[in-house]
Structure 1
Amino acid sequence: MPAAAYSGAGDADTLAKAGGDKHMASSHLAQRNQNHSYRMPSEIPDPSEDDKEPFVEVDPLGRFGRYSDLLGSGAVKKVYRAFDQREGIDVAWNQVRLRNFSSDPSVIIRLHSEIELLKTLKHDNIIVLYHVWKDADKNTLNFITEACASNLREYRKKHRHVSIKAIKKWSRQILKGLDYLHTHEPCIIHRDLNCSNIFINGNVGKVKIGDLGLATIVGKSHAAHSLLGTPEYMAPELYEENYTELVDIYSFGMCLLEMDTLEIPYSECDNLVKIYKKVTSGVMPQAMKKVSDPELKVFIERCIGQPRMRPSAAQLLQDSFISDGIDLDENDL
């Protein structure tokens, strides 16, 4: 093999020219390689099984592997880092503990069928859902979604000074995602929209709605009756367990409040009972006092108003506040 095939190949000749003794130079080079435990590329062994990053569990088809790294967690599910071995990409492994629903097996069956439908959703502002299955042994419902680097809450905390123009662009994309869900046949209600499950690709400003595992599919009446969600973002009618897709508009308004103020709504409350009392009695979060832009404040108030007065996502997309002062292309980026 020619000397140039490995690192430092010309060192022997260089030393020979300097010292006039090529044999001495070669000995010096051999000693240096020995000191550095040098190996030719063909001699480098493959990593042993002990060196490889182990999967904690693998899906039944053997395509997705879950690591132990926790990306996030909520009241109902946990999200882990995972890998799609077929496509060679990072993904997110969402896991729901079903013990909370053990008393009613029909709920589990319905939840599973609903997520199966969510797999068919295709929209630029909706996180892709790849696969879902139930693990009977561990009593978990698992679903694999597209992985995103940062959620909007984390991203906003890192970038504390953003313009109202940026907030408008993010909001428009969220509303387009909600409009897609709400006008889908059948209608899909997210039910747990908050800044921790809205994701952003910071390089291009692309925003996507995620955490669709708790979404519900409703019929022509657009009415749902299950009590699920994050209390600080839940519309008052959701607590009454009789609501429509407009609960997502309320949650969007609370997300917009957090985007502007960097404060989670009703953070002044130290327990869920206090949040419930304020929400159901129509008391605004104290964070509303921190909204400095008067037009933004009016827009948020429209979103979190009474259900009969609350606009749809399509109507909000036509609001002058969302479109004024920003340049839009077809992707709203």
Structure 2
Amino acid sequence: MKPSVVHDSSDKDAEPFVEIDPTGRYGRYNELLGSGAVKKVYRAFDQEEGIEVAWNQVKLRNLSNDLAMVERLYSEVRLLRSLTNKNIISLYNVWRDEDRDTLNFITERVPEETPTRLHESAQEMVQADLKGLHYLHTHEPCIIHRDLNCSNVFVNGNIGQVKIGDLGLAAIVGKSHSAHSILGTPEFMAPELYEEDYTEMVDIYSYGMCVLEMVTLEIPYSECDSVAKIYKKVSSGVRPQALKKVKDEEVKAFIEKCLAQPRARPSTAELLKDSFFDGIDDDNDDDENVYDDCGSS
């Protein structure tokens, strides 16, 4: 499909699209909103609703020459369209562009920035993030995010809503709750992820690293100048130096629980019951099973 198609507007100087989805509903601008481990996110426009959305694009040739893996990734992203939770960014459309060799998916765009630090409502924000993760882990089948980090947690400051995004590379696993393949952001990746044999507990580790970054305003392992050095520390169980900067013992203990060995890490249900969240008014009665155990091993 050729670029330079302008969305329906009476303004002759309207910004042109550089790409349009197969349905003709969504148009992508050239403006880059961000990039993750294997994808880029562009500003886009929903011509039916008249709102801005996010256009996520994965260059498949950068992932693997394994056609089976690519097809599985495509199938997993399609399944994510069925997810409905107020703490998860909605996925609207998914398709594969054979000509460009890309996998594309349209998601809602949260109007505010990602969280950068804990503030007065910090516990509520951290709890809302955890509830979104709980929804994924208790989904049937279980969904492992695999690339949870602060750049994937969005806060709409206008209404105080927290949403987890960047679900395009999540893993859909069966009853065994076991997944394979290495994907993620090195500073936030659990050690077992590198071994390519893991469960949803890798998300708990990444969640702990997110809390650490919000507390210290420092990306974990920022003292390392290469991925190799990060891997060496993570695989050896060496904690990031930023953890030493956490003065609040309760917060530090909460983070340490998340960074424990896989079998010792608490599930999302157990973390939601943690004393760290005592005193928070839980007005989310619609999350019926938010404290049910997800059955992690």
Same fold (TM over 0.5): yes
Q: From the two aligned structures, give the one with the greater helix fraction.
A: 1
The letter of the residue matching 1:231 is P
What's the TM-score, normalizing by structure 2?
0.90
Question: Which of the residues 272, 279, 285 maps onto 1:325?
Answer: 279
**Cα contact 2:31–2:42 (8 A) shared by 1:** yes
Cα deviations across residues 305-333 of structure 1 (Å, max 9, x unaligned)? Answer: 001100000110001112x233332279x
Question: Which of the residues 162, 166, 174 maps onto 2:119?
Answer: 162
Match of 1:7 in 2: none
Match of 1:63 in 2: 25
Q: Which runs of 5+ in 1 are unaligned?
A: 1-45
* SS of residue paired to 1:196: helix
Cα deviations across residues 124-154 of structure 1 (Å, max 9, x unaligned)? Answer: 10000000000011111000000012342xx
Residue 74 (structure 1) shift: 2.3
The letter of the residue matching 1:132 is V
The letter of the residue matching 1:208 is K
Cα deviations across residues 190-229 of structure 1 (Å, max 9, x unaligned)? Answer: 0000000111101121100000011000011000011000
The letter of the residue matching 2:243 is M
Match of 1:224 in 2: 179
After superposition, residues 14-53 of structure 1 pair within 5 angstroms as 47-48=11-12, 51-53=13-15
**Cα contact 1:151–1:195 (8 A) shared by 2:** no
Question: Which of the residues 181, 194, 216 maps onto 1:261?
Answer: 216
Residue 102 (structure 1) shift: 4.4
Q: What RMSD in Å do the two structures reach over aligned CA positions?
A: 1.4
Partner Cα distance (2:135, 2:83) in 1: 9
Question: Which of the residues 138, 147, 151 maps onto 2:109?
Answer: 147
* SS of residue paired to 2:107: strand
Partner Cα distance (2:149, 2:236) in 1: 21
* SS of residue paired to 2:151: coil
Call closer, same or farther: CA 1:209–1:331 in 2, change over 3 Å. farther
Partner Cα distance (2:118, 2:283) in 1: 24
Question: Which of the residues 30, 33, 54 maps onto 1:92?
Answer: 54
Partner Cα distance (2:125, 2:84) in 1: 19
The letter of the residue matching 1:311 is P
Partner Cα distance (1:136, 1:119) in 2: 21
Call closer, same or farther: CA 1:303–1:161 in 2, change over 3 Å. closer
Partner Cα distance (1:47, 1:198) in 2: 35
The letter of the residue matching 1:125 is N
The letter of the residue matching 1:292 is K
**Cα contact 2:149–2:188 (8 A) shared by 1:** yes
After superposition, residues 134-213 of structure 1 pair within 5 angstroms as 134-152=96-114, 155-156=115-116, 162-163=119-120, 166-213=121-168
What's the TM-score, normalizing by structure 1?
0.81
- Deviation above 2 Å: which 4+ runs of structure 1? 149-152, 325-328
Cα deviations across residues 73-118 of structure 1 (Å, max 9, x unaligned)? Answer: 1231110000111111110000001112341011111011001100
* SS of residue paired to 1:150: coil
Matched, 1:116 2:73: no
Residue 161 (structure 1) shift: 7.0
Matched, 1:293 2:248: yes
Partner Cα distance (2:285, 2:206) in 1: 23
Partner Cα distance (1:251, 1:316) in 2: 14
The letter of the residue matching 1:238 is L
Aligned residues: 277
Partner Cα distance (2:213, 2:169) in 1: 22
Match of 2:294 in 1: none
